[in-house]
Chain A
Amino acid sequence: MRKSFIAQNPSVLTFLLCLAAFTLGVSLLAEGFGVGLISTSFVKTLGKTLCLCLVAIAMDLIWGYCGILSLGHFAFFGLGGYMVGMWLMYARTEIIVERSLAQGVIPPTPQEVVDGIGSQIFGVVGSSEFPVIWMFSDSLTLQLLLVLLVPGLLALVFGWLAFRSRVTGVYLSILTQAMTLALALYLFQNDSGLRGNNGLSGLQNLPGVTAPQSAISLWFFWASALALALGYLLSAWVISGKFGSVIRGIRDNEARVRFLGYPVESFKLMLFTLTAMIAAIAGALYYPQAGIINPAEIAPIASIYLAVWVAIGGRGRLYGAVLGAAFVSLVSTWFTGGQAPDINLGFYTLQWVDWWQVILGLSFVLVTLFAPKGIGGLFDLLKRGDKA
């Protein structure tokens, strides 16, 4: 059946081939391979973009296909980043602390090492004790498991509460936004156990790995590309066939699906949790490339931008989400990074850093009004052109 699934969805194969070609091209031109046409920092930008594409796919599944405009998926993304960040920070600090303690005449006791790590990590928030939530941070395996479990569990509990009480539409959107805000505010506190607004930093260094950043950046780029490919395949499989029919049915007429005998709530819950986990994986790959994560990343605005990407790319089709996320995030980086040349109007110098946000906001309005299918809609026009 798997064969026919790919055969039924030629766009999946096209996408995977494009992604493979892109990955290969970037790898060959990257600094890590000695050519150096693409700088290490740009490899990181591209790798991060792939992660954003993955979380956009998750968003597209839950919003474009199931009609739940979640303004909380970037929170799951951030949580994934935090989970992997805890291990990275612990392991890296452990190496530093052990090295510095080894300078002493007397070898350190395990407790001294742990205390040293604690005061290194939590010194900024005036503490040196490890909070309970860091209990697994010394184990990569467990912490990677938490990448899936923590956001998954949060999504499960929140979704169960929300769907059970039949909160739908904009109410659900507002509720998810409130959840995101609550989480961000919680993380902003110094006693949250995750270093308050300092966040976790130094994540770009892989503990115990001496390879240069140019190589590490490529590894993460490949991992991101692989994750995106797998995420795309999984999503394409989920939305094909009867399950896809049912969730699109839920989007278009929830009550009708219910009268067909489908337990709508459990479908939504399952998809909400699944997409939260996909978002978390994307985040877990993103933040080691970004190097730092702090609660501001989780602020409600980020989740709304996620919706913006998917809408501009064209929701209800997976490649649309990927296109939107890649296009908007790259263009945003370009405009807000100060690389774009300012425009001198004679009486006023238009600075892109200041005006990009305005243009993005307004173009978003225009897309919603005039091109609800987004960039993906262009493909439909092309197809129609072919047929004619």
Chain B
Amino acid sequence: MSQMNTLLEVSGVSVSFDGFKAINNLSFQIGPAELRAVIGPNGAGKTTFMDIVTGKTRPDEGRVLFGEKSISLLSMSEAQIAQAGVGRKFQKPTVFEDQSVRENLMMALKAPRSWWSVLTFRTEKTHVARVSELAEEVGLLDQRDRIAGELSHGQKQWLEIGMLLAQEPRLLLVDEPAAGMTPEEREHTTDLLVEAAKTRAVVVVEHDMEFVRRLNCKVTVLHEGSVLAEGGLDHVTADPQVIDVYLGR
């Protein structure tokens, strides 16, 4: 069960900043095609957890293994981890505002990443078609030629999700995708993530319980840098410890 059905395995990871333990002996697993929501109060270590997986922060101890061959992500650079198939969406929408939607997507499109192959890259019909397909998927087909900076907040979020999909990652880390969205936009975002999770692992960090409920997936509750509870949403919300953390104090 463990090797075959696990895409990412985080075990015994700890990290501290100036004596403050942001992550404390955290263990986490996710399968190759699974949607998972990670919730937790502020300072629970959600963002730091993502930083560790994507290589931005090096943990003090623990293991992070990825893929069938269980390669360790800890010795890889951010770019290498991304190439290995880990995509990340930041809390604030970060798209390249000076460039058009098409250019943003084209940049993200799965292709060799070395400077030489990028310099000699030629846009083929298949690339154009794939970009259009992605634009359609995230609902930006008719916005393809607009400059990303001119898009609305929600559209930027979708563009970023589109860019993530263009990377064709095997693991998607999504940080608060629904923040600042209108109800319709949220619905669209939910659909996108559920759809994406059919072919890959998707981890969604979210505050909004309503949004999490709509994702209808397994939930991991983080607290003070380690896992407090795991299971269906109804299961964890019934957990007295979780109630204590969220409502108490």
Choose from B79, B95, B98 the contact partner of A258 (Cβ within 8 Å).
Answer: B79
User: B115 touching A256 by the CB < 8 A rule?
Assistant: no
Q: Does B114 contact A (CB under 8 A)?
A: yes
- Establish whether residues A242 and B106, one from each chain, have CB atoms under 8 Å apart when the complex forms: yes
A44 within 8 A of B: no
**Chain B residues whose CB sits within 8 angstroms of the CB of A255 once the complex forms:** 56, 78
Chain A residues whose CB sits within 8 angstroms of the CB of B75 once the complex forms: none
- Tell me whether B77 and A263 are in contact (CB under 8 A): yes
User: Which of these, B78, B94, B123, B167, contacts A241 with CB under 8 Å?
Assistant: B123
B141 is an interface residue with CB less than 8 A from chain A:
no
B82 interface residue per 8 A CB criterion: yes
A248 touches B54 (CB 8 A): no
Out of B88, B95, B119, which one reaches A238, CB within 8 Å? B119
Residues of A within 8 A of B106 (CB): 242, 245
Which of A50-58, A264-272, A356-364 contacts its partner?
A: A264-272
CA distance A181 to B67 in the complex (A): 49
For A249, what are the chain B residues with a Cβ–Cβ distance below 8 Å?
96, 99, 107
Q: Which residues of A contact B56 (CB under 8 A)?
A: 255
Asked whether any CB of chain B lies closer than 8 Å to the CB of A191, the reply is no
In the complex, the answer to whether A248 meets B98 with C-beta atoms within 8 Å is yes
Q: Residue A259 at the B interface, CB < 8 A?
A: yes
Could you tell me the distance in whole angstroms from the C-beta of B248 to the nearest C-beta in chain A? 36
Nearest-CB distance from A320 to chain B (Å)?
A: 15
Contact present for A245 and B99 (CB under 8 Å): yes
B94 touches A253 (CB 8 A): yes
Quick check: is B128 within 8 A (CB to CB) of the other chain?
no
User: B95 to chain A: which residues have CB within 8 Å?
Assistant: 256
Whether the pair B79, A261 counts as a contact (CB closer than 8 A) is yes
Cβ–Cβ < 8 Å partners of A258 in chain B = 77-79, 82
Contacts of B245 in A (CB 8 A): none
Chain A residues in 8 Å Cβ range of B123? 241-242
Contact (Cβ within 8 A) A1 B115: no
Is A252 located at the chain interface by the 8 A CB criterion? yes
Contact with B along A209-249 (1 / 0, CB 8 A): 00000000000000000000000000000100111011011
CB neighbours (8 Å) of A257 from chain B are 107
Q: How far is the CA of A360 from the CA of B45 in the complex (A)?
A: 52
Q: Give the dominant DSSP class at A's interface.
A: helix
B107 adjacent to A260 (CB under 8 Å): yes
Per the bound structure, the CA–CA distance linking A203 and B98 in Å amounts to 45
B137 interfacial by beta-carbon distance below 8 Å: no
- Most chain B CB inside 10 Å of its own CB: which residue of A245, A258, A259: A259
Task: Decide if A263 touches B113 in the complex (CB within 8 Å).
Answer: yes
| B103 interface residue per 8 A CB criterion | yes
The answer to whether B54 and A266 touch across the interface, beta carbons within 8 angstroms, is no
Interface string of B111-124 (1 = CB under 8 A from A): 00111001101110
Q: B97 at interface (Cβ–Cβ under 8 A)? A: yes
**Which chain B residues in 97-150 approach chain A with CB under 8 Å?**
97-99, 103, 106-108, 113-115, 118-119, 121-123
**A contact residues around B78 at 8 Å (CB):** 255, 258-259
Across the two chains, which residue of chain A brings its CB closest to B119?
Answer: A243
| Chain B residues within an 8 Å CB radius of A248 | 96, 98-99
B73 on interface, CB distance cutoff 8 Å: no
Give chain B nearest CB distance to A34 CB in angstroms.
46
Q: Is the CB of A245 within 8 A of B77?
A: no
- A4 CB to nearest B CB, Å: 9
Once the chains are docked, how many angstroms separate the CA of A259 from the CA of B76?
12
Q: Are B107 and A259 within 8 A (Cβ)?
A: no
The chain A residue sitting closest to B88, CB to CB, is A259
- For residue A241, which residues in chain B have a CB less than 8 angstroms away from its CB? 121, 123
Residue of A nearest to B87 (CB): A259
Most B-side CB within 10 Å, residue of A249, A256, A258, A260: A260
Roughly how many angstroms separate A248 CA and B147 CA in the complex, as a whole number?
14
Task: Select from chain A the residue with minimum beta-carbon distance to B109.
Answer: A242
Question: Which of A1, A242, A263 has the most B CB atoms < 10 Å from its CB?
Answer: A242
CA A264 – CA B121 in complex, angstroms?
Answer: 17
Q: Mind listing 17 A-B residue pairs with CB under 8 Å?
A: A241-B123, A242-B118, A245-B96, A246-B118, A248-B98, A255-B78, A256-B90, A258-B82, A259-B54, A259-B87, A260-B163, A261-B80, A261-B82, A261-B113, A261-B167, A263-B80, A267-B115
Q: Assuming A241-B121, A249-B107, what are 7 further A-B pairs, CB within 8 angstroms?
A: A248-B98, A253-B94, A253-B96, A256-B94, A256-B96, A258-B79, A260-B108
Report the 7 A-B pairs with minimum CB-CB distance, sorted nearest first: A261-B82, A261-B83, A258-B78, A242-B121, A263-B79, A243-B119, A270-B115
Chain A residues within CB distance 8 Å of chain B: 1, 238, 241-243, 245-246, 248-249, 252-253, 255-264, 266-267, 270
